[in-house]
Structure 1
Amino acid sequence: MQLNQASWPEVEAYLKKSKGIIIPIGSVEQHGPNGLLGTDAICPEVIAKEAGDEAGFLVGPTFSVGSAQHHLGFTGSITLRPTTMIAALNDWIDSLHRHGFKRIFFLNGHGGNITTIDAAFVESYAAWSLDGEACPYKLKQTSWWMFDEVAQVCKELFPEGDGSHATASEVAVTYYAYPEAVKDVVMTPKTAPEGRFTDAADYRKKFPDGRIGSDPSQATPEKGKRIVEVAKKALIREVEAYFAS
């Protein structure tokens, strides 16, 4: 069930059965020469949708722009300052709590979001602590690639060149979601170098085509479908346990 496609009476009826909701959260940033700018939002969105459709969970709108300042050297990338993102996340959390949600599960698609999401959670809990009240809801985040079985299938599909940014696995998931967007691009070197970075200028200098450690030319819709099937099952298991806690 998609919040964006439900009426308010339908959401009210859902809350009589469950107090839990999944929020896909990602980023709009470059993903190399053949990766979509929306990759980090598309991946959790498609996985959450398929899990919600199968298991009956409510899936909220995607929080699609995240913390991606280091990608601003590449055209089309958009970022929020960490303080802005924390404030926006707390507005989302407060809105959902007002309606009666007590288990809010953020399915993340961007590694650069993790620390900011955690900070937003601390900010949310702190308001209750400072008021001397027990917080009536719980917040959780998991990145889709962190499920053990997902990591295993990605390693099986891409034993070499999955990398750490513009990965073959995430590009494959987006190609499964949008097969019309598949791009055939020759990349040099075939597998990008690994390394660390600071700001946008440093990133662009060290990784001129945007990739880090990856060869996303290996990505296909068929491989993406397999990853989504595994991730969907893992997410259902994780969310069922969390909503029941």
Structure 2
Amino acid sequence: MASVLWMDLTAEELRAKAAVDAVVVLPVASIEQHGPHLPVGVDTVLCGGVCKAAAERADDVELVVAPTLWCGMAEHHMAFGGTFTFDIPTYRAVLLSLLKSIERHGFHRVLIVNGHGGNIAALTAFLPDFARETRLHVEATTYFLLAQDALPSLLEDQQGVQHACEVETSMMMVLAPGSVRDDRLGEAHGARDGLPGRPTVSRHRSFRDMTETGVIGDARRASVEKGRACLDACAEALAGLLREMGRAA
């Protein structure tokens, strides 16, 4: 099977993709702290990996997976170190520039696939701007929310993705073998739900206020088997959305 990745294709092959109205999958993620046991590239590795796996499953749909945008909205992790973050105007400008490049190459449809919780509010807020400032049909989703109904039955200690947790650690064991610091797993647990708060009141919270370890959840429950199952669930949920977009062409 030919590669689904934009970076593997020639310019001629990408022009051919545009000519058949392929969907461009644009993964967006983050580089940020993930506790004592995981590298800072977790969100970027996982989002790119899920997008690639989903695209390969949806092989009846014309699509291509763009390179992952590795920086996002991560101010809440800065206190731990190891983190890059955009401010809102910069993040909007970078995404708009990527979308305009995609548009100039003749593509019409883009699915932004997010792999970092801190990006969700910004992406939702940007969609009207993208509709006004490009001619693209742009949709956005967060892969682990798309798969949220499938995840609880696969886990021992969580109902879904938290942070540097049972899910993310398990998936990293599959997508980046050897990257998990096994000797630090004993320390890799923290608050289960962060700080309590009132649902009608919002404020910025540093992860330092939520967890001493940088972890929310319990990575000690992680395993390769869970990682494979979670990757499968996330890829299948995303592939289903890609098929829907393909049928709507």
TM over 0.5: yes
Q: Distance in 1 between matches of 2:166 and 2:189?
A: 12
Q: Which amino acid aligns with 2:212?
A: P
Partner residue of 1:171 out of 169, 172, 179: 169
Question: Which residue is equivalent to 1:231?
Answer: 234
Q: Distance in 2 between matches of 1:189 and 1:220?
A: 14
Q: Deviations along 1:117-136, whole A, 9 cap, x unmatched?
A: 12222222233xxxxxxx63
Question: Which residue is equivalent to 1:141?
Answer: 140
The range that moved more, 103-112 or 228-237, is 228-237
Preserved CA contact (<8 Å) 2:36 2:188: no
Instruction: Name the structure where helix makes up a greater proportion of residues.
Output: 1
Give yes or no for the alignment of 1:100 onto 2:106: yes
Question: Which residue is equivalent to 1:130?
Answer: none
Give yes or no for the alignment of 1:209 onto 2:204: no
Partner residue of 1:32 out of 30, 35, 52: 35
Q: TM-score, length-normalised on structure 2?
A: 0.85
The range that moved more, 76-85 or 48-57, is 48-57
Where structure 2 has 5 or more consecutive residues not aligned to the other structure, the ranges are 196-202
Preserved CA contact (<8 Å) 2:190 2:214: no
Q: Distance in 2 between matches of 1:178 and 1:106?
A: 23
Partner residue of 1:125 out of 128, 131, 135: 131
For 1:155-194, list aligned pairs within 5 A: 155-161=152-158, 164-184=162-182, 185-187=184-186, 190-194=189-193
Q: Distance in 2 between matches of 1:116 and 1:52?
A: 25
Question: Which residue is equivalent to 1:67?
Answer: 73
Q: What is the Cα-based RMSD across aligned positions, in Å?
A: 2.1
Preserved CA contact (<8 Å) 1:89 1:120: no
Q: TM-score, length-normalised on structure 1?
A: 0.86
Preserved CA contact (<8 Å) 1:34 1:217: no
For 1:72, what is the secondary structure of its paired residue?
Answer: helix
Superposition deviation, residue 228 in structure 1: 1.3
Q: Aligned residue pairs: how many?
A: 233
Superposition deviation, residue 188 in structure 1: 5.2
Where structure 1 has 5 or more consecutive residues not aligned to the other structure, the ranges are 128-134
Q: Which amino acid aligns with 1:209?
A: T
Q: Distance in 1 between matches of 2:161 and 2:14?
A: 40
Question: Which residue is equivalent to 1:9?
Answer: 12
Q: Distance in 2 between matches of 1:226 and 1:51?
A: 14
Q: Which amino acid aligns with 1:194?
A: D
Give yes or no for the alignment of 1:87 onto 2:93: yes
Indicate how the Cα distance of structure 1 residues 22 and 68 shifts in structure 2: closer, same or farther if over 3 A, else same: same
